[in-house]
Structure 1
Amino acid sequence: MQSCPYRKIRPLGEGSMGDVHLCVDVQQRRLVVVKWLRAELHEGSQAAVRFRREAELMAGANFPGVIKVEEWGLDEFGRTWMAMEFVDGLMPSAVIGPGDCWSVHRLLAGVGQGLDDLHGLGVVHRDLKPENVLLRSSVDGWEPVIIDLGIAKWLAQETATASGSVFGTPHYMSPEQCRDTKHVGPATDRYAVAVIIFELLAGRRPFEGRTIPELLRQHLESPVPELQIPKRVRSGAIRDTAAKATYPSPNLDAFMRKAMAKEPRLRFGSGREMATEFERAAKADGLWEVPDPSDMTPLFPALTHPMAEIIIDGESRQRFDVRHGPLVLGRHESCQVVLGSPRLSRLHACVYLHRGRVWAADLHSQNGTLFQGRALQPGVPMPFPPGGQTAVFTLYNRNIAVRLCTTTGP
């Protein structure tokens, strides 16, 4: 298996079993997400073997609501890695306001279907939470995607059980997961989804213990509280009054009690069933409001200057549309901007688009990168100046200007 062919741009997360980075694929001019196991989990360890088994299983799957696993391998340090597609999106709470039942249903339908697909493969996520779901742009607005498959987290299951520690995120853990992290199934994931949609609807989580033991006890013993969905104005904001009135929601409350039942067998049997029953309950409570298509704004502002013009020694050399993928600057022939200098790293710096803005990043180069006269720290990208201004990279002793412009500009 080949070494990891992707170059790190910035870290996305770190856990007990490994770390995750946003990376660039120079050959195909795209962004990818790569997860590495920790160095101490060597190739022959049980953790690495299971990691590869899960990666192989997911690499053969292609589910619309689940991040796609593309390949895996070993790097030059013997670390097992797995590459996944990059999803440019926002967390649900940044898009869905309290009481927006139509949008909550859309999220539930997408995430529920994604979980049904995973469960059909025999895969249980075990650590579903809002941070593991992103909303990405689609033709009709947005669609939800489960972005963290929790594969590395699954490997900690035996260790967590043996040490008596908690495996999962306590606010979203099912009662059976609180009791025994080993014996969980699809109903565990659906419980976590129910907690997520409770939080989106009510603007608060159902259980808020001051300590982890108290929080786990609430999941195990406390009844599911009423939603108390705050009334909304047309913009979706909570009414700004001294007494924030709430909508009566008896049908949705009954839905939540079943979705978060203490016994797994008493919950809904699938994500599809959950979505169907949620829609029925929201309509019965009079809280189903389909938005006007004209009110559905894009997740990110349109890029007004999508073309990157490369200027070297005062001469315009090339133009690239940054919407079509990142640009890598360096001395290797695979770079989009090839610079013949032995002092430069083969893959030195990068220009890429994320959440409607253009960013500059150093790719852990040997001699460093200056951007607008400031040192770019590896793993800490800087945004391009707004308004299509020209920005200057200094790669060791080479100055490269990058001007963002419109497709029809000079």
Structure 2
Amino acid sequence: MSDVEREVNAVAERAKEAAADLAPLSRATKDEALLAVADALVREAESIVEANAEDVARARENGESEAVVDRLSLDVKRVDAIADAVRDIVELPDPVGEVTRGKSLPNGLELRQVRVPLGVIGMIYEGRPNVTVDAAVLCLKSGNAALLRGSSSAYSSNTRIVEVIRGALDKTSVPVDAVQLVPGSGREAAQALMRARGLVDVLIPRGGATLIQTVVNESTVPVIETGDGNCHVYIDEAADLDKAQAVAVNSKTQRLSTCNTAETLLVHASVAERFLPEVLRSLRELDVTVHGDDRVRGYDDAVVPATEADWTTEYLSADLAVRVVDSLDDALAHIRRYSTSHTESIVTDSQSAARRFVAHVDSAAVMVNASTRFTDGGEFGFGAEIGISTQKLHARGPMGLPEMTSTKYVVTGDGHVR
């Protein structure tokens, strides 16, 4: 075992001990700690911004785009907003201890299934230092210890933020080691975390497709996949075209760099002539580059030819793949072939078409006459999310606090024997 592996395992062992102490704490105790964290973030905002400036300078030296630099950057106002988000999480219900089902068995035993923390949650994520706070406080609220492995690009910011969080916890009843940064900034530390089976209960990667697939393929710790959204909007032959334009444009342009942003627009051939010229004009005015098939290109000279790669690409940029399809079945076949099972939307006034779309699309979220951008824990009323799961086991869709728990059975008898 290398020195790095020993160091990571030591951190994980401390997290496991902290998780055992954290799990039985009351909501009031955990909320008090979260409020202390929020206050500390505000109080130490200047020092956090100072550390962040090191990361920003390094990013600029490395030639990162301004979009990347902006996602990385913190100022006092942004830190205050992060602290406000922590206070919002305090207001959310605590899922731990919730009885999900219960009954009296014929033999007189009382059976209850109750929510319990997962234990130690490892987070491997990119770029944004606000995720460090989000992950830490969501884990704490749900009774889990957090092992945080951010990208090297935000190393200075993450180090200072975790110092501030731990300093706040040190004055509360929540164990300090419930929040730890995985030591080191190299790849070996991340690999050691992925191999810490028995010490880490679950890993949640949050970032681009490459990061997620690396964790899925290399980890021996159970993984909940998040992100990677090649999302589709399908305009049906029975669509209200004004609504269709609004949904299509919002799904693509409301925010470009999120996993619930639409990357492909499918249009039924019978409405293409009435719909495409106007929506293509609107997209062009918003500086969106359309990658279209031959039929789409016939409506606008600015459309660039679509390649096979365009149908599989999660752009996260001002690009959109557009295809004309001859039927709902053709749209379903396209989605089935290229979707990453995140979010798909149909715009239609036909109830039968909507029912067929919902029944046949196998994604975490399916929208009817609504933008793909609504697949979000906040928009769903969960208050917050750790990420959006695109897999089927344990959790699917936006992962709020309940999805950060497991369950156990509590069986109460009166000297019962079998």
After TM superposition, the score normalised by the length of structure 2 is 0.22
With a CA cutoff of 8 Å and minimum separation of 6, indicate the structure with the bigger relative contact order. 2
Greater strand content = 1
After TM superposition, the score normalised by the length of structure 1 is 0.22
Greater helix content = 2
